[in-house]
Amino acid sequence: MTVTKSFLSKIILLFCLTITVRAAPNVVFVLADDMSRDTWGAYGGRECKTPNIDQLAKEGTRFDRAYCSVAMCAPFRQELYSGCSPWRTGTLPNHSKSVEGTKSIVHHLEPLGYRVALLGKSHVGPNECYPFEKLGEVSKKVDANPEILAKTKNFFDDCREKKNPFCLFIGSHDSHAPFTTGDPSKYNAKKITIPPYWIDTPQLREVVVQYYAEITNFDRLVGMIRNELEKKGLWNNTIFMVCSEQGTQLPFAKWTCYDNGLRTGLVMRWPGITKPGSVVQELVSTADVTPTLVEGLGGSLAKDVCDGKSFLSLLRGESGPIHDYVYGAFTNCRIIANRERVFPIRSIRDKEYSLIYNPNHRSITSNLTLSQALRLKNKGGEIGEVLNPAASWVPMADNDDHSRALVKKLHRRSKYELYDLKKDPYELSNLAKKGSHAKVMNRLKSRLYAKLEELGDADPIATERNFIAKKKK
């Protein structure tokens, strides 16, 4: 058959028009607040009801080794949005703001025609570094899901009318104490299972039930946003991501460098990219999200603009890690009730081990949730208060070795803590002084020290004292 030039031209024109009218992918990223990933069914949680998150993991990709650098709200969010480590942005302490000149995902996606918006909890700054289109804060005192949904609908409709692709970050307050939302009656405090990294007390059980109620309420929000995308015909052209943020405010999670603090839950569905039920086993950092989205949406980043790396290759199932190690930090100063306490923590992880370094180990660590326990331990008796979960552990210290060790661990840590994450995922057995693990210790210590030197943080105690001095000025 002879193909005329005219016919061939029409075919080429039709192909070009098809490419032209294809809509750019949208992005919706739903972020929880102080939520440990092990509560989600997708990560093996059996107590808490998270059907919408679990369904998303079945249809898309689950990340098994996703980590943030700091298990506190402001550092986490600024790392997420900037793609830069908190050492670079100056956000190691909580309630901190990024240094001048920090660029965020807003700067990278707006030139591509995207409206980049933030709805709900912010906890980032200054505005010139994170110039989101602000859709408004939402309440923590009452269930904010209806308000979030209403504002999300309006945003979707406005973007459709103006023919703008969008990237929307939704910051829920759910699972951040005080626990005020959800339905605790759906859980029975007497029947829930308490994990071995906590001490089982009535006070803990009561709070865990309230915490679980908020997690389920967050899961409801995930389902509501998805349903809206489907109703508007946007679902199959939207990258949908759900993240747990750092771990819970209950002990050994937030405000630490333990896995329960730094390891984040992340599930996503990217039409045309992710495969149903796929799992990424490689190490991934919170800082990787921004460069991944920028690359996947057609943008490009200048060299060294971000510390994170695109994980698009991992989503496509291509072999090879993008990180050999991930690093963590905690800065005790500037936290309520402990604004001038100096107890920095640094950490390094590979796929098998975690090494935690506590340079000021002869001192104590504490935070708002541990202050009551510290007072009770120091006083050596009743303090006439209703005990919070951590404080309720103190009387249990005389019961058995396990309880005694956990009560001590609330405030006092060894200089080095080495854990085998495969055999001991709850990080209960410190291998730092085991001769059989000397080679692993030396390798991780050497790499951690080199990285801290590279980051200008070779002396974490001096780093923390400098933060206190700057705050006083």
For domain 24-320, the question of CATH label 3.40.720.10 is answered with: yes
Q: What is the pLDDT of residue 27?
A: 98
Q: Which residues are within 8 A (CB) of 190 and not within 5 positions of it... i.e. 6 or more apart?
A: 205
Q: Which fold has domain 329-370+411-472?
A: Arylsulfatase, C-terminal domain (3.30.1120)
Please give the helix or strand (H or E) that residue 451 lies within, else none.
helix 438-454
Overall pTM > 0.75: yes
Instruction: Chunk the chain into consecutive blocks of 10 residues (it has 473) and report each block's average pLDDT, rounded to whole numbers.
Output: 49 43 86 97 96 98 98 97 97 94 97 97 96 95 96 97 97 96 96 96 98 98 98 97 97 97 98 97 98 96 94 91 97 84 96 98 93 88 78 93 96 97 97 94 98 98 91 70
Q: How far is CA 240 from CA 109, 120, 138, 249, 324, in A?
A: 16, 17, 21, 26, 27
What is the structure's pLDDT at 395? 93
Strands 61-67, 326-330: pairing kind: unpaired
Cβ–Cβ contacts within 10 Å for residue 12, how many? 10
Handedness of CA 45, 47, 50, 56 (dihedral sign): positive
Phi and psi angles of residue 206, each rounded to the nearest 5 degrees, phi first: -60, -45
Distance CA 38, CA 210 (A): 16
Please state, in angstroms and rounded to a whole number, the distance separating the CA atoms of residues 221 and 84: 28
- pLDDT computed for residue 334 by the predictor: 82
Strands 115-120 and 166-171: parallel
Q: Is 239 helix (H, G, I), strand (E, B) or coil?
A: strand
DSSP assignment letter at 23: P
State the DSSP code for 98.
Answer: P
Helix or strand holding residue 135 (H, E): none
Q: Domain boundaries in the chain?
A: 24-320, 329-370+411-472
Residues 6+ apart with CB under 8 A from 139: 147, 173
Distance CA 184, CA 212 (A): 7
Structure tokens at 100: 């001048």
Distance between CA 469 and CA 173 in Å, rounded? 31
Domains 24-320 and 329-370+411-472 share a fold: no
Q: Report which residue type is found at 258.
A: Y
Which helix (DSSP H) or strand (DSSP E) does residue 67 occupy? strand 61-67
Q: Report pLDDT digits (tens) over 262-272.
A: 999 999 999 99
pLDDT of residue 7: 47
